[in-house]
Amino acid sequence: MLSEAVHSYLALRRTAGFELRSEQTLLSDFATFSSGRGEAFVRIAVAIDWAGTARSSYQRARRLGMVIRCARHLHAQDPHHEIPPQVFGPEKAPRPTPYILSPEQITALVRAASQSGYRSLRRVTYSTLFALLACTGLRVSEAIRLRFSDITPDGLLIRCSKFRKSRLLPLHPTAREGLDRYLERRRAYAPTDDHVFISLRRKPLLCKDVETAFRTAARTIGLPVGPGHPRATPHSLRHTFAVRALQSCPDGRDAITRHMVALSTYLGHANVSHTYWYLEAVPELMRDIADRCEQFVTGGPT
């Protein structure tokens, strides 16, 4: 009975656009676990016991959160279902402090990539890729999925990226020139594949390939890439773009609001709160906010 209720709940949420792949597996496992305890409804004690089998506290909280959301839906239809409390704390671990690169570090990183490995297309592939990530704020997954048809006169067309959103990113003339130079060499290397960035195997790049190339270049110029926070990763180029864009935000409440919404759309964030996160995650922006608050309180220019 509980398995059928869970299946109905998942089907309803999928009609709203959710994929729910992990939820399907975990909630089905919870229903089986409950049946083994002789329960046909969601029970608080059983839900906590099931979620408690996960290894980490965040995994336990995530499991229980799934049951809670399902139980709320089921309870509205049948009060026999109990809604568990969130006893394991927050479902997500705190996001690590992003590593923000300086313009000089980005230049050095691109140069190091252009000199790393064999004298082949690999060098120009990764130097172009890192430069494109830095000047557009693209996700690595978005960049390696780019195809020739996605390069339009108006910019880069990012198709059905994270959260199933598509968007158009304008390119600065210098960025387009650099991309065009790369494509001249790349088309001759693998004319039968229409992916923009390819490996020496003449196949689309993988995220792990990009991470390996980034670590190599980062170590060459002395960036922190080992355990600990903050550390440089390929995603640091996206973080850096977002922070620099926020630092260029004009004054005025209305202007700031428009700027944040535009940047959130540009970056492909599902919620503008993900863009506002940078304000509290990056020391440079926190200092800017503190300075503005002090000026406001003291009556100075803002």
- Is 278 marked active-site? yes
Average pLDDT over residues 292-302: 63
Residue 63 and residue 166 share a domain: no
Q: Are residues 135 and 237 in the same domain?
A: yes
Q: Out of 77, 108, 137, pick the residue that ends a domain.
A: 77
On whether both 72 and 201 belong to a single domain, the answer is no
Q: What is the pLDDT of residue 286?
A: 67
15 with 122, same domain: the answer is: no
Do 32 and 178 have their domain in common? no
The total domain count for the chain is 2
> So what's the pLDDT on residue 40?
94
Reply yes or no on whether the pLDDT at 301 is more than 60: no
pLDDT digit string, tens, across residues 206-243: 999 999 999 999 999 999 877 766 889 999 999 999 88
Q: Are residues 144 and 6 in the same domain?
A: no
Highest mean pLDDT among 85-94, 188-197, 202-211, 290-299: 202-211
Given 77, 112, 138, the domain boundary residue is 77
Q: How far is CA 138 from CA 142, 156, 162, 216, in A?
A: 6, 10, 11, 21
Active site residue 231: no
Residue 298 lies in a domain: yes
Whether 87 maps to a domain, the answer reads no
**pLDDT at position 90 over 90:** no
Q: 273 in a domain, yes or no?
A: yes
Q: What is the model's pLDDT at position 141? A: 92
Mean pLDDT of the region 79-86: 95
Active site includes 195? no
Do 193 and 297 fall into the same domain? yes
Who has greater pLDDT, 193 or 296?
Answer: 193
Tell me if residue 73 is catalytic: no
Q: Which of 46, 77, 108 is the last residue of a domain?
A: 77
The reply to whether 12 and 147 lie within a common domain is: no
Res 221: pLDDT: 95
Output the pLDDT for position 48: 96
Q: Which of 176, 219, 235, 259 is catalytic?
A: 235
* 84: in domain: no
Residue 111 lies in a domain: yes
| Residue of 43, 63, 186, 269 marked active site | 269
Q: How confident is the model at residue 119 (pLDDT cuts 50, 70, 90)?
A: confident
Which one is catalytic: 9, 126, 182, 278?
278
Instruction: List all residues 6 or more positions away from 91 whose beta carbon is below 8 Å from its beta carbon.
Output: 58, 61, 62, 65
- Domain contains 89: no
**What integer pLDDT is reported at residue 259 of this predicted model?**
81
Q: Which of 145, 238, 239, 266 is catalytic?
A: 238
Per-residue pLDDT band for 253 (boundaries 50, 70, 90) equals low
- Residues 160, 166 contacting (CB under 8 angstroms): yes
Between CA 101 and CA 233 the distance in angstroms is 10
The pLDDT, as a whole number, for residue 294 is 64
**Is 238 among the residues known to form the active site?**
yes
Residue 188 lies in domain: 97-302
102 & 53 share domain: no
Contact 110, 182 (CB under 8 A): no
Confidence (pLDDT) at 20: 85
* CA gap 265, 169 in Å, rounded: 10
Query: CATH number of the domain that 147 lies in?
Result: 1.10.443.10
Instruction: Tell whether 64 and 101 lie within a shared domain.
Output: no
The C-alpha atoms of residue 268 and residue 242 are separated, in whole angstroms, by: 11
Q: Is residue 90 part of a domain?
A: no
Beta strands 151-152 and 167-169, pairing class:
unpaired
- Please report, in angstroms and rounded to a whole number, the separation of the first and last CA atoms in the chain: 62
* 86 within domain boundaries: no
pTM of the full predicted structure?
0.71
pLDDT, tens digit (0-9, with 9 covering 90-100), for 37-70 = 999 999 999 999 999 999 888 899 999 999 999 9
Spatial neighbors of 49 by CB under 8 A, at least 6 apart, are 33
Instruction: Name the band, by pLDDT with cuts 50, 70 and 90, for residue 292.
Output: low
DSSP 160: S
Residue 163 has pLDDT above 60, yes or no: no
Q: Please indicate, yes or no, whether residues 254 and 109 belong to a single structural domain of this protein.
A: yes
> CA 259, CA 195: separation in Å to the nearest integer?
32
Give 297's pLDDT tier (boundaries 50, 70, 90).
low
Q: Which of 139, 186, 195, 239 is catalytic?
A: 139
One domain for residues 264 and 121: yes
For residue 174, give the amino acid letter. Answer: T
How much is the average pLDDT of 148-176?
Answer: 86
Q: Which residue out of 162, 185, 202, 203 is catalytically annotated?
A: 162
